[in-house]
């Protein structure tokens, strides 16, 4: 009988010890998770919000030529840019992540195109980001030799011009197959999204679909990656050095 009591007591202790061990393990796991979260937040600080606007989408294909459709190129570059900026610690908001038009998000009685643009501006203003970039593809059928990237800025914020110069410089330095791309200066542009957003931002025309070489490049994943890296480099340059920029110049070393 005594022997039986000892065995039962031992089993009870064992059971209690298992419960205590289980809870201790749970506490340890929670502690480790909290520690990892703190380390993660310290290593990858959220530097602020950036809105990426892949131009067009859905019914609005943008400019097209020989099966190359602007809306698809814009979205792919934007997604690549999103990953790069997130890796750099920025919180990224996309105006669209799929092949959709945004006109249904705005219920004003304006045209479909204007409702689409309104929705993009509303997303930008709602998130109050550090800046926004609108990604597009250019075309010029009166001069099909025109190539290269051109960044447009509005007159509303002087910071937009600085941002445009920083991104333009980075895109001007892209080398493809050992050949430097044709370079441009950024240009002022009177565009709805630039005039109506409440933060600095630019429209980036990444290449000319009307030019046979540019069009071919736009279909290549590697080139779209180069464009995304260039845009991200320009954004970082602007955010890190904007306070030092007085008169933005295109030549490296002048910022």
3-class DSSP assignment, residue 49? strand
Task: Rank residues 207 and 255 by Cβ distance to Zn ion and give the closer one.
Answer: 207
- End-to-end CA, the chain: 90
Rounded to a whole number of angstroms, the minimum distance from the CB of residue 47 to Zn ion is 28
Half-sphere exposure of 163 (CA within 13 A, CB side): 27
DSSP letter for 181, please.
Answer: P
How many residues sit in the footprint of Zn ion (CB under 5 A)? 3
Rounded to a whole number of angstroms, the minimum distance from the CB of residue 26 to Zn ion is 54
Name residue, tokens 């945004």.
102
* 200 contributes a contact to Zn ion by CB under 5 A: no
State which of positions 114-173 bind Zn ion (CB under 5 A).
136
Task: Rank residues 162 and 193 by Cβ distance to Zn ion and give the closer one.
Answer: 193
Rounded to a whole number of angstroms, the minimum distance from the CB of residue 200 to Zn ion is 20
Task: Rank residues 136 and 181 by Cβ distance to Zn ion and give the closer one.
Answer: 136
How many angstroms separate the CA atoms of 207 and 63, rounded? 12
Query: Quick one: tokens of 207?
Result: 């290449």
Rounded to a whole number of angstroms, the minimum distance from the CB of residue 155 to Zn ion is 20
> Rounded to 5, what percent of the chain is helix, strand, coil?
50, 15, 35
Rounded to a whole number of angstroms, the minimum distance from the CB of residue 67 to Zn ion is 17
Residues 6+ apart with CB under 8 A from 70: 55, 56, 61, 62, 63, 64, 136, 137, 209
Task: Rank residues 60 and 159 by Cβ distance to Zn ion and give the closer one.
Answer: 60
DSSP β-bridge partners for residue 250: none
Task: Rank residues 71 and 237 by Cβ distance to Zn ion and give the closer one.
Answer: 71
Say if CB 208 and CB 219 are below 8 A apart: no
Residue nearest to Zn ion (CB): 136
Task: Rank residues 63 and 237 by Cβ distance to Zn ion and give the closer one.
Answer: 63
Rounded to a whole number of angstroms, the minimum distance from the CB of residue 189 to Zn ion is 12
Taking residues 49 to 88 in sequence order and writing x for each that binds Zn ion by CB under 5 A, - otherwise, the string is ------x------x--------------------------
What residue ranges bind Zn ion (CB under 5 A)?
55, 62, 136
């Amino acid at each position: 009988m005594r022997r039986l009591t000892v065995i039962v007591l031992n089993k009870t202790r064992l059971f209690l010890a298992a419960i205590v061990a289980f809870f201790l393990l749970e506490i340890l796991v929670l502690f480790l998770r909290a520690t990892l979260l703190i380390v993660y937040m310290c290593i990858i600080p959220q530097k602020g919000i950036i809105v990426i606007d892949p131009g067009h989408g859905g019914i609005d294909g943008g400019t097209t030529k020989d099966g190359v459709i602007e809306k698809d190129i814009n979205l792919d570059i934007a997604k690549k840019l999103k990953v790069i900026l997130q890796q750099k610690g920025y919180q990224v908001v996309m105006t669209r992540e799929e092949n959709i038009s945004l006109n249904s998000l705005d219920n004003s009685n304006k045209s479909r195109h204007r409702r689409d643009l309104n929705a993009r501006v509303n997303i930008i203003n709602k998130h109050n980001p550090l800046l926004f970039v609108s990604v597009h593809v250019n075309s010029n059928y009166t001069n099909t030799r025109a190539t290269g990237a051109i960044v447009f800025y509005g007159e509303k914020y002087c910071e937009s011009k600085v941002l445009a110069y920083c991104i333009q410089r980075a895109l001007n330095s892209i080398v493809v197959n050992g050949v430097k791309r044709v370079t441009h200066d950024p240009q002022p542009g009177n565009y709805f999204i630039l005039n109506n957003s409440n933060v600095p931002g630019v429209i980036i025309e990444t290449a000319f679909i009307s030019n046979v070489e540019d069009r071919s490049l736009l279909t290549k994943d590697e080139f779209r990656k180069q464009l995304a890296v260039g845009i991200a480099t320009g954004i970082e340059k602007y955010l890190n050095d904007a306070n030092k920029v007085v008169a933005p110049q295109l030549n490296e070393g002048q910022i």
